[in-house]
Structures are given as structure tokens and as C-alpha cells.
Structure 1
Amino acid sequence: MRMHLTAAAAGLLLLAGIGVAAADTVVIQPEQETVIKEYVKKQPLASVKLPGVELNIGTALPDTVELHEVPNVKYRYTVIDNRTVVVDPETRKVIKIIQ
């Protein structure tokens, strides 16, 4: 009986960990993504180089990177290594890379 409880407890902890990881994921609604893409096309920015920073979803950008507003959208954007990235301004983490 004790072995079954231990396995069940381990399973619950694993599921809880997956839930926490999933809660960190930010989903941009299709309407917001369209607004962002259209705005970025109209407001191009010079690309910034960030040596030593691997640009991926979840990468936190340093405070030295200026984030730019998109009207009526809570997220910000910038251009790094010729790629437009959408950033959560509260965490400064990349949530979307627009090619």
C-alpha cells in the first residue's frame, strides 16, 4: 500500500510541475498578433545586437534594450538580430518571435 501512495504522490507532483510550467506560457490572441504585425510593419525599428544572448521564447531581455509600445496592446516589441520580438513588459521575457 505504501508503494502505491508514493507512486501516486510522485505522479501528482509531476502533474503540478507541468501545471506551473504551463501557467508561465503567454498566449497572444490572433487579433492581437495581427495588430502587432501590422503596427510593426508601419513602425520599423533599427535592429539591436545582443552578443552572448540566445534569442528564444522565454529569454529575458536586459534593461538596456528599449521596448516599444503597440497601441491598445499590453505587450511591447523590439528588433534584435533583424528579428522582431514581442515582449511581456512586466517580465521582459520574449513571448513571440515574428519572422
Structure 2
Amino acid sequence: MRMHLPTVAAGFLLLAGVGAAAAQDLVIEPEQETVIRGYVKKQPLASVKIPGVELNIGSALPDTVELHEVPDVKYRYVVVDNRTVLVDPDTRKVVKIIN
């Protein structure tokens, strides 16, 4: 059975799109989100503005934005426009906007 290249390419693109969508749907357990919210409340940060960056899941934050640790959590956080933002420290991409 011979498959045509456009069919195979379309299949790969479809799978890549599904993977990208799943990567954006970060699921944080309610208990972990409670820990994060509590920590952020105890360690308040001044809100920053990031000109030229639209704050969405998947947006990359510039290196000039300081990311802060939450103990026992992979992700870092920063407060942007009065919203707590979880960021993947490896890619600097926003993975969740808490408030």
C-alpha cells in the first residue's frame, strides 16, 4: 500500500497540532494550586508591565522579566498586570494564568 506524501504530511501536521494544544492545557491539581496561591500571597511581588507582550498561554516572557520560585513546584511565577502567571523556566512560556 502506497501513501501519498501530502496525506502523510497532513497526518503529521494534525498530530503536531493536537500535541501543541495538549501542551497548552496545563492541569494543576487543586491542592497544588492552593499551595501556589498561598505561597504567592505570603510572598507578594510588585506587578510588572511587559510592553509588547500579549499575556496568553504560550506567550514567551523576555529574559528581562525575573521569575520567582515556588517551593516544590516545577514552574516559576511572576505577577503581570496584577495577575499571577506560571511560567516554564526552561522555555519562559506562560503555562497558566491564575488570576
Residue-by-residue CA offset, 1:26-47 (whole Å, 9 max, x unaligned): 6243132221111111111001
Point out the structure with the larger strand share. 1
Q: Distance in 1 between matches of 2:24 and 2:94?
A: 11
Which residue of the partner structure matches residue 86 of structure 2?
A: 86
Report sequence identity in percent. 68
Which residue of the partner structure matches residue 12 of structure 2?
A: 13
Q: Distance in 2 between matches of 1:85 and 1:56?
A: 10
Number of residue pairs aligned between Structure 1 and Structure 2: 97
Instruction: Give TM-score, length-normalised by structure 1.
Output: 0.80
Q: Distance in 2 between matches of 1:84 and 1:47?
A: 9
Structure 2 spans left out of the alignment, 5+ residues: none
Q: How does 1:64-75 map to 2 (within 5 A)?
A: 64-75=64-75
Greater than 6 Å deviation, 4+ residue runs = none
Instruction: Give TM-score, length-normalised by structure 2.
Output: 0.80
